[in-house]
Structure 1
Amino acid sequence: MSMPPSFAMALALGTLGGALFTWIGMPLSWMLGAMTATGLAAIMALPVKGFVKARPPMSAVIGAMLGSQFGPHTLESAATWWPALLGLAAYLVVAAGICIFYLRKVARLDGPTAFFSAMPGGLVDMVLLGAERGGDERTIALMHSARIFLVVLGLPPVMMLATGADPVARAADWRPLTSMGMMDVIFLLGAIAVGTGLGKLLRLPAPFLIGPMLVSSLLHWSGTSGFAVPSAIIAAAQVVLGTTVGCRFAGISRRFVLRILAISAGSTALLLLVAVVFSFALHAVVDVPVAGMLLAFSPGGLAEMSLVALALKIEVSFVVVSHMVRIGLVILAAGLLSKRYSPTA
C-alpha cells in the first residue's frame, strides 16, 4: 500500500522540524522536532494523519538497533540490577496511586478512565482493558499519547535540572553510513526479518520491536556479528517515531486536545517527580548513573525511551530491560486491580 498524502505531509513536516531543532542545537533534535512540528500541525487542523503501517517496520529497525547494545558484558551487569527492578515495582505503585488520585479529584475523570489513564503502560493494552471496564476509550488513548509526548518533550530539561547531565553534550558521535559493511547490512536485515517472524509466532508484546531486538542481542552476545547502526538510520527512526506520536492528535477537536494536554501535564509532572525521587534513592544501591536510572523510570513509551537512551549513549540495555519489565508489570497489575473499578466508581 502506498503512503497516504496526509502521512507524507506529516513526515515532511516532521523532517523539517527535526532539521530545525538540529540546526538550533536542541537535544534529541530529530525526535523532538518531528513530534513538535506534527503535533502543532494536528492541533491546527492541518491535513496530517498517522499511518498505521509506518510504525511496525520502523519498530523492527529500532529493535535491531537496541539489540546491538547487548553484549557479553550485559549478563554481568544484569545480575546487579535486581534492586532497581524491585524499586521499579514500588515506583509504579506510588506513581500510579498519586496519578489516580489527581485524575479523580482534580481532573474529575470517572473511575475506570482515571485508572487506565494513570497506568504508565502500553497505549493499546490500556485502551483495550479500559474499554472492557467501561472507561472512555478516546480519553484514555489521548492521555497516554499526551503522556508520551510530554515526557519526551520534558525529559531533557528535567534531566539537566535533576542530574546535571547535558543531553546535547551526551549525544552519540555521528556514525556515517559507510561504517556498515555488506555483512553488517545482511545481519541487520536478517535480525529484522527473523525477529519479526519470531515475535509474531511467540505472540510477544510489541513483537515488531522485541523480536528483532532478541535476535540482534543473540547475534551480539554470541559474537556472530558486531554491527552498529549508522546515525542517519537512527535519525530517520526518530523522525518517524516523533511524527507518529504527533499525529495521534489529528482529527480531534482543538479544545479537547488542549484540555487533555493540560490534564496530562499535571499527571506527567507527578510521574516525573516520583521518577526523580526513586532514581536518586536507587542510585545509592545500584551501579547505574542517575541519568540512566531516570531514563529507565521515566513513563514514556518503550520505543521512545529506548531510542532516547540510544541517542544519548546512556545505559541502553538497562533502560530497555526496565521498560520491558514496566510494561509487563503494568499490564498484569491493571488486569488484576481494575475489577474494583466500574463506570460509576
Structure 2
Amino acid sequence: VSLIQLTRVLLVVMTIPFLVIFLFTKQNGAAQTSAGAVSAGALHPGLTPVLLTAGFILAAWLASKGAKRLKFPAPWLLGSMIGVAAAEIGVSALAGKDMLAWWPPEANQLSQIFLGATIGSKMYKSMFTGVTRVLTVGFISSVGLIAAMILSAIAVSKLTGISMITSVLAFSPGGIAEMAATSITLHEDSTFVVAVQVIRIVLVIAMLPPFYRLLHHLSQLKRAHGERGRAERGT
C-alpha cells in the first residue's frame, strides 16, 4: 500500500507541474505586471509591511499549531493559510483598506526548495528492492488515475470556465503543498486549489474506512458461510 501510494504521489508531483507549465501556461500581461509590482514592492519595503509580515508569521505559526491539534489534513499549510487569511482580513477591516505585507521574492523560491528537498529525502534505495511487480502495478494504475483526472479537469474547466491550470492542479491526486506551490508559482487561484484538495482528502478519510469495514464484514460473512457449508458436508 505504501509503495503504490508513494508511486502515485511521485508521478503526480513530477508530472503535473511540468505538464501545466509546458502545455497550459499562458503568460499574460496582467500576471507579469502583478509579479513585477510585488517584486518592486519587495525591494523597498516600509516599516508597516515589515511589521505585518512579522504578525502574519506569528499568526501562521499559531494557526498551524491549532490545526495540528484539531487533526486537520496538511495542518502546517492549511492552518497557516487560514490563520494569515483571517489576520489579513481583520487588519484590513480595521484599517479600512487592504494592507499588504512584505514578502521578498526569494521566499517563494526558498519554500519550493525546502519542499523539493523534503520529498527527495523520503526516497531511499531499499524501498525499490524486490518490489518490481508492486511498482509495475502502482505505475500503471497511477498513470491511469492521472489520465482520468486530466480528462475530468478538462471537462470541469470547459463547463465552469475555471482556468485549465487551476482545474488540473485542484483535482490532481497529489499532495496539497505541492499543488498549492505550483499554483502560486503560476499565479493561479491557489485558494481554490487548496480548498478542493482538502475536500478530496476529507471525503477520502470520511468515506473509505466505513467502506473497507463493510467489505471486511462481507468477507467475514462469506468465509463463515463457506466454513459452515463445509462442516455440514463433512457431517
Higher helix share: 2
| TM-aligned CA distance change 1:164 to 1:182, over 3 Å | closer
Given the alignment of the two structures, is residue 295 of structure 1 paired with residue 163 of structure 2, yes or no?
A: no
- What does residue 267 of structure 1 align with? 141
Alignment of 1:1-345 (within 5 A): 140-159=1-20, 164-165=24-25, 173=35, 175=39, 178=43, 181-222=49-90, 223=92, 225-227=99-101, 229-250=103-124, 252-256=126-130, 261-342=135-216
Instruction: Report the CA distance between 1:150 and its aligned residue.
Output: 1.2
Amino acid at match of 2:213: K
Amino acid at match of 2:10: F
Question: If the length of structure 2 is used for normalisation, what is the TM-score?
Answer: 0.72
Please tell me whether Structure 1 or Structure 2 has the larger radius of gyration of its CA atoms.
2
8 Å contact kept, 1:295–1:309 = yes
2:25 aligned counterpart, secondary structure? coil
Question: If the length of structure 1 is used for normalisation, what is the TM-score?
Answer: 0.51
Cα distance in 2 for partners of 1:173, 1:252 equals 43
Equivalenced residues, count? 202
Q: Which runs of 4+ in 1 moved over 6 A?
A: 169-172
| TM-aligned CA distance change 1:264 to 1:314, over 3 Å | farther
Amino acid at match of 2:123: F
Structure 1 residues 71-115: Cα deviation after superposition (integer angstroms, max 9, x where no partner): xxxxxxxxxxxxxxxxxxxxxxxxxxxxxxxxxxxxxxxxxxxxx
Structure 1 residues 220-242: Cα deviation after superposition (integer angstroms, max 9, x where no partner): 33426432633312212111211
8 Å contact kept, 1:159–1:166 = no
Amino acid at match of 2:193: V
Amino acid at match of 2:89: W
8 Å contact kept, 1:196–1:208 = yes
Instruction: Report the CA distance between 1:260 and its aligned residue.
Output: 5.0
8 Å contact kept, 1:142–1:249 = no
2:100 aligned counterpart, secondary structure? coil
| TM-aligned CA distance change 1:306 to 1:157, over 3 Å | closer
Cα distance in 2 for partners of 1:228, 1:272 equals 37
Cα distance in 2 for partners of 1:206, 1:160 equals 24
Of all paired residues, the percent bearing the same amino acid is 23
Instruction: Report the CA distance between 1:166 and its aligned residue.
Output: 5.5
More contact order relative to length (CA 8 Å, sep ≥ 6): 1
Amino acid at match of 1:147: R
